[in-house]
Structure 1
Amino acid sequence: MSRLTLPLAALAGLLIGGLAVYLFTTSRHGAPLGERARMEAVVRDYVLSHPELIPEAMQRLQDKQTGSAVALNRKAIQTPFGNAWAGNPRGDVTVVEYFDYNCGYCRASLPLVRQLIASDPNVKVVFREWPILAQSSVDAARLSLAAAEQGKFEAFHDALYNAGPVSPETMRAAAAKAGVDPAGVARLGDRADKEIALNRQVARDLGLNGTPSWVIGDKVVSSMLPLDKLQQLVAEARTK
């Protein structure tokens, strides 16, 4: 945001807020219509003279709505299933990744997440299963949840991503490499499907539109992010 835009936005907010109060007050006390019309014209002319304020105002509104959605769902967002997390368990900032094992961008984000954790000892990363690309994504998510319940999420997560395209063969190989008992999926019963359904519902509430998606503080981003952008969002969340 430029130094010019901030004062303009502040002034526009004051004008619009002042107009709302003024109109409410005058509507109750019967102020002349001419005064109300003049005030409306002032605000209208100002906004038309500075149209750049409109997308900025819309973005602020969207950020506010997203922040409210995050606050309402924070427990479901930040509480990991089993040990599906990495980094500092008491970190002051929690980075949440919604991912799909069939997502190439999620696979490419794996080393970036490791670098983020290595560069910041006060970050906790939570991984949320969001299988949206194929039925094999759902099968992999269920096995991944079993791995998380057995305390072997990270080993399985890395092994499956490194195994190539998701298939019954690569899932079996990843489970064997991580020491995951595949029978754990059956033992989970409907808990795995309930966890996936909850993640899907929260994703809808947050307006996520693809994998990977990130929730960092009150910010939500659906995109692969470079390390410096992840670090920037962590820093912003930390200041709040």
Structure 2
Amino acid sequence: MASSSRFGGILPIVAIVFGSALLGFAGGWAWQATGAGRGATETIVRDYILDHPEILPEAMQRLQQREMQARLAPLRGAIENPYPGAVLGNPNGKIVLVEFSDYACPYCRLSVPEVEALIAANKDLKVVVREEAVISPDSDDAARMALAAADQGRYAAFHKAMFAKDQVVPATIDAAASEAGLDLAKAKADIASGKYEVEIQNNQRIAEAIGFTGTPSWVIGNEALSGAQSRDALAAAIARASAGK
């Protein structure tokens, strides 16, 4: 379920506030520095903003990026450390792409070939998939089976088989598990034990702490992206993360 930016609707208001704050700051600085000329300084700053209004969205973008970096920093370990085995690509890769995913999400299904292409193009890419069951009760069942598959070393196979199904229902979950080579009896016993509930609930808490409201959602380095992303957009974010290391 793709999510739109929650900042877009308030950008004009924030721009006005930002501009006013900038005027006040500049004027105050001039007053303290020289004791005079406040009005002239405010006029200069005001005229510059009016002549270059494009700086306001850019400034807001910078502010949003800094806020997101501050939000991600204390969660870094929780976000990037996978449930054991719930990884695609290179499990020892130094570049980490995190995807919050739901098997009942059509946009997550559309993202599968994009992620596969990124993995094929970057041998150092580790894709951490966080099972976030948000769409239906069957999403939870599929997420539990995925974690059972991770325990059996069959996560990637189940992930691909499950997303190849047209719908997420008990029959297709069992079919995907069988196709992935799981010991189905053991998987169901593990699921019945309740051992995967903490992981699924934890993924939801992490997503909420980041500010995600749907799937797929992504974390790459200091960036968080919501909704379906093109291969090029993800590749660009991966390149920025790689450059920042």
Q: Normalization by structure 2: what TM-score? A: 0.81
Structure 1 segment 186-225 matched on structure 2, within 5 A: 186-187=192-193, 189=194, 191-225=195-229
Which of 36, 50, 53 lines up with 2:38 in the alignment?
Answer: 36
Of 176-185 and 73-82, deviating more is 176-185
After TM superposition, the structure 1 = structure 2 runs for residues 64-143 of structure 1, keeping only pairs within 5 Å, are 64-143=66-145
Equivalences, count: 221
Do structure 1's residue 184 and structure 2's residue 184 form an aligned pair?
no
Cα offset, 1:80, TM superposition: 0.6
Please provide the CA RMSD for this pair.
2.5
Tell me, yes or no, if the aligned pair for 2:26 and 2:42 is still in contact at 8 Å.
no
Q: Deviations over 1:68-126 (max 9, x none)?
A: 22222111111111201022223221011111100112112112211111111111111
1:117-161 residue CA offsets vs partner (Å, 9 max, x unmatched): 111111111101111111211221122222222322112111211
TM-score (structure 1 length as normaliser):
0.82
Indicate the residue corresponding to 1:231 in structure 2: 235
Superposed displacement of residue 176, structure 1: 2.2
**In structure 1, C-alpha distance between the alignment counterparts of 2:74 and 2:196, rounded to whole Å:** 22
Deviation, 1:25, is 8.7
Please say if residues 162 and 173 of structure 2, whose CA atoms lie closer than 8 Å, have aligned partners that are also in contact. Answer: yes
* Alpha-carbon distance between aligned partners in 1 of 2:198 and 2:30, rounded to the nearest angstrom: 51
- Asked if the contact 2:130–2:203 (Cα under 8 Å) also holds between the matched residues in 1, the reply is yes
- What amino acid maps onto 2:197 in structure 1? D
Q: Judge conservation of contact 1:97–1:214 (CA < 8 Å) in 2.
A: yes
Equivalents in 2 of 1:26, 1:196: separation in Å?
56
Which whole-Å CA distance do the structure 2 matches of 1:146 and 1:173 have between them? 14
Is the Cα–Cα contact under 8 Å of residues 82 and 150 in structure 1 kept in the other structure? no
SS in 2 for 1:80: coil
The separation in 2 between residues aligned to 1:157 and 1:198, in whole angstroms, is: 20
> Partner amino acid for 1:143?
M
Is 1:23 the equivalent of 2:25?
Answer: no
Q: CA 1:165–1:81 in 2, change beyond 3 Å: closer, same or farther?
A: same
**1:198 aligned counterpart, secondary structure:** helix
Percent identity (aligned): 41
- Name the CA distance, whole Å, in 2 between partners of 1:153 and 1:109: 17
CA–CA separation in structure 1 for the residues paired with 2:53 and 2:30:
28
Give per-residue Cα distances to partners, 1:183-207, cap 9 Å, x unaligned.
11123x2x42222222222212222
Where relative contact order (Cα < 8 A, 6+ residues apart) is larger, the structure is: 2
Unaligned 5+ segments in structure 1 are: 1-15
Corresponding residue for residue 158 of structure 2: 156
Shift of 1:223: 2.3
Asked if the contact 1:82–1:151 (Cα under 8 Å) also holds between the matched residues in 2, the reply is no
SS where residue 196 of structure 2 aligns?
A: helix
